[in-house]
């Protein structure tokens, strides 16, 4: 059985070498684990949000950084973008299946960390 697992890992290593700077998987990992990428994926874990709702839910992010982060995550196929033809246009974002799959362990990590921290003011 371990032979088949090793074989699968060997095939993955052939396709993607995340330690090589030209690896497309490395770019996706960089976008997901960027300062704001993690927060966008966690914010979208339960439902889709409009741009301004995302901006308000992620404290400290500028409009420019949110736009850049969303652009990268959309390009990577982690987030979908929908423009409603209204005046002004309303843009909504949500997680694709790939985004939900990638975001799930991040959400679990976030939940584990917050469960372990002492409540604020209890130091």
- Model pLDDT, residue 3: 45
- How would you classify the pairing of strands 49-50 and 90-95? antiparallel
pTM (2 d.p.): 0.77
- Model pLDDT, residue 1: 44
- Model pLDDT, residue 28: 87
- Model pLDDT, residue 18: 76
SS3 82: strand
Q: Is the peptide bond before 88 cis (omega within 30 degrees of 0)?
A: yes
Ranges in the chain, pLDDT < 50: 1-10, 12-13
SS3 16: coil
Q: How many CB atoms lie within 10 A of CB 10?
A: 9
- Model pLDDT, residue 120: 73
């Amino acid at each position: 059985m371990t032979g088949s697992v090793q074989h699968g890992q060997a095939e993955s290593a052939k396709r993607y070498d995340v330690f090589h700077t030209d690896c497309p998987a490395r770019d996706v990992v960089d976008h997901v684990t960027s300062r704001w990428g993690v927060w966008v994926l966690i914010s979208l874990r339960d439902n889709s949000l409009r741009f301004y709702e995302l901006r308000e839910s992620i404290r400290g992010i500028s409009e420019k950084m949110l736009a850049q982060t969303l652009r990268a995550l959309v390009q990577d196929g982690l987030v979908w973008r929908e423009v409603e033809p209204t005046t002004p246009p309303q843009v909504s974002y949500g997680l694709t299946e790939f985004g939900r799959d990638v975001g799930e362990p991040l959400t679990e990590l976030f939940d584990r960390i917050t469960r372990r921290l002492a409540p604020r003011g209890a130091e």
